[in-house]
Amino acid sequence: MFLKYIESNIVQILLTSVFVLIVYKFSNYIRIFYYVSKLPGPPAYPIIGNALHFIGKNKDSSQKFLKIFEDYNSFFRLWIGLIPGVCISNPDFIQKLLNNKNGLEKSFLMKYFGKEAMGDSIILSDVVKWKQNRGIVARGFTPLILKSYFKIFVEKSLMLVEKLDEKLNDGESFDIYEYLSKTTLEAVCGSTMGVNIDISNSYYSALESPFHLGMHRIYHFWEIPNCTYRWTDNYKKFNESIKTVREFTHNVFLQKKKYYNSKNNENVDEIKSNLKNEFKQPLLEYLIDFAAVNLDFTEGDIEIEANLAIMAGYETLSTTLSYVILNLALHKYIQNKVCEELFEVLGNDLDRTIAVEDLSKLKYMEMVI
């Protein structure tokens, strides 16, 4: 009787089973969809969401985005196609979110786009894996490491000032971001990989390209699915850029590895001794030592973590510096106070360079940043 019932209703049973599986698989998305839809925000359309708000040139899209912030104050929702997003500008809300233990999972977009560019990094991994392994990467960015490479930062900063002086004398407007990003990239390479290098234009362009292509992809919703994006010219450009970036890191890694292998008296005990002094090592050197005594951590993992540290570090720093300088230019009173503090700490000797010990005295500048 039971078998006969199944035979006569096989289609209905299959459809019901498929429906239940879909609901189960997307239950978390459905829950998020439900709550996000209750938040205030601009009108959204089926399938494309708020994509129409961002069609056009970057400048126009940015103006529209700022207008949405004005209309909906400091908290609203946006739909990137079928992907929900919540935009927050209120510092109190942001603090609560960052301090919430349930808010540690990386966003879908960050994983979706980030892993294509940076690989399966610890920082982009699930919360459980991230908690277990975050210390590996964090040890590459300790104050002692940054202090040991402070001279590189000062040197690159002075070179930046010279370049900006030359550009200012031209009397023409220019985009300061390019100058800041190249300088921060060289500084980050120094602290991450322990090398003082002058960045080539090809490597810099290759690093910048994924960010621009990623933003272009978000604004053109039909390119978000991989099945359509793989047929575009931008996908080819993206892969070429990532290849250049990874080749650069790979070559630096090989040089470092060759240096380590040339140390004839090196052994596991000495490597473990180096690990005890890990807080003074650049990230790449620490990871090489770490992999020598942790065989599960491969050479590929080393390069992925180094790449991510460079890509995320330099872009964050250069963007932050750009906004700091922009706001200093817009608020002359604040700019004057920063200058006054610099003269108080460094004195009137214009040839004197800043030292590590001076940083703790620049209280007002720290607040500005």
Q: Where are the domains of the chain?
A: 1-38, 41-103, 137-330
Q: Using one digit for the tens of pLDDT, what is the confidence trace for 143-176? A: 777 777 788 788 888 888 888 888 887 777 888 8
What confidence tier does 278 reach under pLDDT thresholds 50, 70, 90? very low
d(CA 146, CA 187): 10
Least confidently predicted of 148-152, 217-221, 268-272:
268-272
CATH of 137-330, one of 3.30.70.360, 2.40.50.140, 3.40.1360.10, 1.10.630.10: 1.10.630.10
pTM for this prediction: 0.73
Nearest to 106 by CA among 92, 118, 89: 118
Give the pLDDT of residue 267.
53
Amino acid at 340: E
> For residues 306, 307, 310 and 315, what is the CA-based torsion angle, rounded to 10 degrees?
-150
Name residue 88's beta-bridge partners: 75
Give the pLDDT of residue 64.
80
> For residues 291, 294, 295 and 299, what is the CA-based torsion angle, rounded to 10 degrees?
-20
Q: What 8-state DSSP symbol labels residue 45?
A: B
Q: Which residue has the higher pLDDT, 351 or 323?
A: 323
Give the pLDDT of residue 66.
80
Give the pLDDT of residue 200.
67
Give the pLDDT of residue 1.
52
Q: Ramachandran region of residue 127, left (φ > 0), alpha (ψ -120 to 50) or beta?
A: alpha
Examine the pLDDT at 241 and tell me if it is beyond 70.
Answer: yes
Q: Which residue has the higher pLDDT, 364 or 220?
A: 364
d(CA 348, CA 202): 40
> Residue with structure tokens 């390019």?
178
